Amino acid sequence: MAQQERAIRTRQAILEAAGKVFDEAGYEAATIAQILACAKVTRGALYFHFSSKEDLARGVLDEAVTTEGVSPQPFKLQELIDTSLLLAHRVQREPLLRASIRLSVDQRARAMFGTRWPDWITVTAALLQEAKDKGETLPHVVPEEVARLMVGSWTGVQLTAEAMPEPPDLTDEISLLYRLMMPNIAVPGVLARLDMAPDRPLRLMSSAAGAAEDHMREA
């Protein structure tokens, strides 16, 4: 059990190192040697978990679609907002997530490994469908359509923000994006109760960490 746990940790350390190297150098330029140096593991340990650079890229991409930190909410639309805002918060702090975006954006890597955008669209469309079934959405909302636009917009806002001479905070930008779109998605009674504030991820995370959320809200 301890051995298995150690193996899981080693695998995660290698993935995170691969993320860091792919994020900084790009897929083409990245080398196994760089990843080894960054992960501080032996070549044998790396090849025990991943057979090649391609395999590492696939491993990185498998971490791309994550709803970590999202908990059930009174409204499904809130869960959707939480998912997007948490990702915006984390992507600025976690090279592994940035690498999965970079691999998707890179045309060559994309040709080799595909992207996780279709999976994100599926996750988003499912949440929108649940929201629709519960009466949270306006009648014209087509979950699959809106899901495509949301995943596309999130991706482009991240990409263009990152490229700016003075990049704005991504959580602020995604918060603005939701405030622009949501009034044409949610019915008014739900809209008024949605929390799209840029500090939402911090509150969710401290709430998850055991701190009382209400206390945080007042602080």
Under 8 Å between Cβ of 36 and 43: yes
- 155: its two tokens: 């991706």
Q: How many residues bind its own copies (CB under 8 A)?
A: 40
Among 8, 33, 37, 159, binds its own copies (CB under 8 A): 159
Residue 38 CA, distance from chain mean position: 23
**146 is an interface residue for its own copies by CB under 8 A:** yes
**181 is an interface residue for its own copies by CB under 8 A:** yes
**163 is an interface residue for its own copies by CB under 8 A:** yes
**108 is an interface residue for its own copies by CB under 8 A:** yes
- Pick the piece of the chain touching its own copies (CB under 8 A) from 40-48, 63-71, 80-88, 143-151: 143-151
Under 8 Å between Cβ of 38 and 21: yes
Under 8 Å between Cβ of 84 and 185: no
Residue 187: φ, ψ to 5°: -70, 150
CB of 128 to its own copies, least distance (A): 12
**205 is an interface residue for its own copies by CB under 8 A:** no
CA–CA separation, 85 and 79 (whole Å): 10
CB of 97 to its own copies, least distance (A): 16
CA–CA separation, 172 and 188 (whole Å): 23
Residues in touch with its own copies (CB under 8 A): 26, 28, 102, 104-108, 110, 114-115, 117-118, 145-146, 148-149, 151-161, 163-165, 168, 173, 176-177, 180-181, 183-185
